[in-house]
Amino acid sequence: MRDGDLVGLARSLGVPGLVDIHVHFLPDQVQRKVWQYFDDAERNYGRAWPIHYRLPVPERVELLRSFGVVAYAPLVYPHKPGMAAWLTDWVTDFAATVPEAVPTATLYPEPGVVSYLDAAVRAGARCVKAHVQVGAYDPRDALLDPAWGLLAEAGVPVVVHCGHGPLPGEHTGLPVFEEVLRRHPALTAVLAHAGMPELSLALDLLDRHPRVHLDTTMVGVPFTTDIAPLPADWTRRLADVADRVVFGTDFPSIPYAYAEQVAAITGWAAAPGLGDPFLRAVLHDNGARLLGIGQDGARQLGLEHG
């Protein structure tokens, strides 16, 4: 499968296009530093990580359109205090200029987190990114407790990178984040990268917490199957939670073509009990529901908190 095949795939499934819940757009100075880190991936991760879509913002926006992506969550994330509010303001402005991009926000355990997060949700943020690994913070921090509660009450999904991949952090691990879920059972959480490499544990969390989802970002593609192989019962268990599996890619900082992720999901759909209904759910319907996107691919109105 190639990038140019994706529009036809969506058409064959009877959906207006793809909905990607895990895309990154960042301020230029931050994006440069992120790519520099990946350029040093052999030292940082022990393996090369060539960026496949190292392009200016306008070209990346047009590429997603050419792939048939009708909506996406442009995710931002801080690595130190004082960044989250600024990044949230930046991505709010970005989403206002790109029809396919839904407004998002981020957070960090710091004084004022509830204030700027509440302002973002009231302004229409549809998704929040929490990056436990990069931020190097404990998601159980008392400063974050009211923020999780705010998101739970507002029904705004949070994409949480809390797994040990690609490298474990001081506060990563699905059991750590499950403590947050126990305190906030109404929180709609999306496990980024399906909790890689602990894919079975991620599915266990979905079994115990009915509002938890997982995204497909980098799952099952050749680049990651050596460090995070799919469990033997992967497709059987996906059939039980097909309404909580959401398409995600990590575009643009992936070391392979966008279509490789779709090809992996298409491969899963060949298993008994999945098929085209599973593909429609994952590639469009589930993400559209979480992000408030109508069947025509347009944003739905009236979902603002408050």
CATH number for the domain spanning 235: value is 3.20.20.140
What are the tokens at 198?
């602990």
Banded model confidence at residue 298, pLDDT cuts 50, 70, 90: low
The arithmetic mean of pLDDT across residues 243-247, rounded, is 98
Q: Residue 37 to residues 43, 166, 223: CA-CA distances in angstroms? A: 9, 13, 18
Q: What is the mean pLDDT of residues 58-62?
A: 98
CA atoms of 249 and 21, how far apart (whole Å):
8
> Does residue 181 belong to any structural domain of this protein?
yes
The stretch 191-216 carries a mean pLDDT of 97
Question: Percent of the chain beyond pLDDT 70?
Answer: 96
Task: Tell me, yes or no, whether 78 lies in a domain.
Answer: yes
281 has pLDDT over 90 = yes
Q: What is the mean pLDDT of residues 140-151?
A: 98
Alpha carbons 221 and 3: distance in angstroms, whole number: 15
Predicted confidence (pLDDT) at residue 303 exceeds the cutoff of 90: no
Overall number of domains in the chain: 1
Task: Give the closest residue to 224 by CA, choosing from 200, 256, 251, 253.
Answer: 256
In this prediction, residue 302 carries a pLDDT of: 31
- Is residue 48 scored above 80 in pLDDT? yes
Residue 160 falls inside a structural domain: yes
CB contact at 8 A, 290 and 190: yes
- If you average pLDDT over residues 171-192, what whole number do you get? 97
User: 302 lies in a domain?
Assistant: no
Asked if 77 and 131 touch (Cβ cutoff 8 Å), the reply is yes
Torsion sign (Cα): 191, 192, 198, 199: positive
Residue 301 pLDDT exceeds 80: no
Where residue 297 falls among pLDDT bands split at 50, 70, 90?
Answer: low
Average of pLDDT values for 193-215? Answer: 97
What average pLDDT score do residues 176-199 get?
A: 97
Q: Rounded to an integer, what distance in angstroms lies between the CA atom of residue 249 and that of residue 259?
A: 9
Distance CA 129, CA 76 (A): 6
Top-confidence residue, 297 or 85: 85
Q: Which residue has the higher pLDDT, 168 or 240?
A: 240
Written as six digits, the tokens of 46 are 């022990």
202-221 core/surface letters (b: 16 or more CB in 10 A; e: else): bbebbeebebbbbbbbbbbb
User: For residue 243, what pLDDT is reported?
Assistant: 97
Cβ atoms of residues 280 and 242 within 8 Å = no
Say if 268 falls within a structural domain: yes
The reply to whether 304 falls in a domain is no
Residue 170 domain flag: yes
Share of the chain above pLDDT 90, in %: 90
pLDDT at 295: 60
Q: Give the pLDDT of residue 167.
A: 83
What is the pLDDT averaged over residues 147-164? 97
Q: Phi, psi (5° rounding) for residue 119?
A: -60, -40
Which domain range does residue 188 map to? 3-291
- Residue 296: pLDDT above 70? no
Q: What is the mean pLDDT of the chain?
A: 94
**With 50 as the cut, is the pLDDT of residue 9 above it?**
yes
The reply to whether 121 falls in a domain is yes
